[in-house]
Amino acid sequence: MTLRLAASMGAVQTLVSMVLSFVSIKITSVYLGPAGLGTMGQLGLFMVMTQAILAAGVGTGLVRRTAELNEAPAQRELAISTALRMLVAAGAVTTVLVAGGATVLARDAIFVSTFLSVPVILLIALLFRGTG
């Protein structure tokens, strides 16, 4: 594959992604209305912030530590498994806290019958975003 072909395909992929994103947000805004779209945006930003807090530099630290332990495979595997366990533990605690506080924190924002489809639409949007 030539550089020109790869750049062209990347540009086409970006253009198609932008068009689909524009169409998706228009359909979502008509279906949910301004309040529902705002709720969906807040929920999405909350999820992004939660992911950033959970990661908290673990990826950078793990890459650095893995590079330092290039000659010691046993210690490298220990560092990787420790980082993954730490992320899983933090994710599990956060999941329990969010699930436990969801009814109190979001009773009026998400679980009102008008906005019941917001979490479903957000999940579908995140699934399609991950494939791009």
Domain ranges within the chain, ordered by starting residue: 3-130
Give CA–CA dist 26/46, Å, rounded. Answer: 22
Q: What is the distance, to the nearest Å, from the Cα of residue 51 to the centroid of all Cα atoms in its chain?
A: 7
Residue 2: band (very low, low, confident or very high) from pLDDT cuts 50, 70, 90: confident
CA distances from 45 to 2, 74, 88, 97 (A): 38, 38, 21, 17
The answer to whether the Cα torsion of 52, 58, 62, 63 is positive or negative is positive
Q: What is the residue whose two structure tokens read 């650095």?
A: 64
pLDDT of 132 above 50: no
Residues 62-114 pLDDT 10s: 888 888 888 888 998 998 898 889 888 888 887 787 777 666 666 655 556 66
| 121 CB neighbour count, 10 Å cutoff | 19
The pTM is what? 0.50
More confident residue, 14 or 94: 14
